[in-house]
Structure 1
């Protein structure tokens, strides 16, 4: 629970989250979240603020651990981890990539946390299955997940300007060609 809590706070640094909403999200008691928040605040990893009877938690981005911790949490709890849990299980997925802002962050390009996740799925996968996976990912990540599906032939072709653009920028592989499933 501690890793998930820390990941939520650090991967949503633009937000302050209340103890109550985090307890609901992680299906634990408010006292459990509050106890973990005390430990994280004492370690200098989060900031806490009181607004009336609400206790708000926010990532402390001023410390020396903020950047490497955010990168580690993004890899272990962020879009790459969530999508790697969901997409390989879908029949017909030949390849899958994160592209756009999240891929740029994973490749080291600086910038603010992206507001959504762009995913390219290559193969002949059922649209309903993809939509279900996207909704599950959105729920787990707290961010919109935009899935674009293309055929293997389209991905291999150089004719599509959109795919040419995707290939010219950073991508992060979720399912690579030939991944055993």
Structure 2
């Protein structure tokens, strides 16, 4: 049984929200169907069906290059701005924070936790007022503060970043904060740290 996502119940699925957020929040970029499937974590066939619907509805545009189909947000329609803003405040934390943290030196892993992660994982409740992020590693504190400020602006809600060392995260001690974070839903950000 498909359940509509708690972050934005007007959508059919979480995959639809993830796909829309990824493409609409990166309007300058073209994605192949294979890239979208890998980023969203579903089969290319599932992405293809969704892309067909969204292209037919004028939300996405596509073109063929050889055997590849490249997909991009249509920014020339009245739907683009309000829909991209809606995706930013609902499903935006994953692509926005992934982009921001992937390039930050000292970040080993990052997770979204708290009410946003709970809604993302299907727990019902009111829309999250903020986004809580746990950064594992030793990035510069000032850089993390600046990153949180920029992400807050883009997501139109407060972004709270908490930094812990790799040792503290892996120790599984009785730290009440880390115990609480581990016991609740987590959304791990897929950071490409090989480039660092």
Is the shorter-chain TM-score for this pair beyond 0.5, marking a shared fold?
yes
1:92-129 C-alpha deviation (Å, 9 max, x unpaired):
00010000011111111111210000000000100011
Compute the RMSD of aligned alpha carbons: 3.3
- Name the residue aligned to 1:166: 181
Deviation at residue 74 of structure 1 after TM alignment? 3.6
Partner residue of 1:90 out of 104, 109, 115? 104
Partners of 1:130 and 1:140 in 2: how far apart? 15
Give the alignment's TM-score, normalised by structure 1: 0.58
Partner residue of 2:164 out of 147, 150, 153? 150
Do the aligned residues in 2 keep the contact of 1:74 with 1:80 (CA within 8 Å)?
Answer: no
- Give the match's secondary structure for 1:180: helix
Partners of 2:151 and 2:113 in 1: how far apart? 15
Partners of 2:78 and 2:194 in 1: how far apart? 39
How many residues are paired up? 122
Partners of 1:121 and 1:175 in 2: how far apart? 12
Deviation at residue 73 of structure 1 after TM alignment? 8.0
Gapped regions of structure 1 (runs ≥ 5): 5-31, 47-58, 60-69
Partners of 1:161 and 1:87 in 2: how far apart? 25
1:81-102 C-alpha deviation (Å, 9 max, x unpaired):
1101100100000010000011
- Name the residue aligned to 1:36: 78
Gapped regions of structure 2 (runs ≥ 5): 1-22, 26-74
Q: From the superposition, tell whether residues 90 and 112 of structure 1 become closer, same or farther in structure 2 (CA, over 3 Å).
A: same
Larger Rg over CA atoms: 1
Partners of 2:89 and 2:193 in 1: how far apart? 24
Do the aligned residues in 2 keep the contact of 1:97 with 1:175 (CA within 8 Å)?
Answer: no
2:146 is the alignment partner of 1:132: yes
Do the aligned residues in 2 keep the contact of 1:115 with 1:144 (CA within 8 Å)?
Answer: yes
Give the alignment's TM-score, normalised by structure 2: 0.54
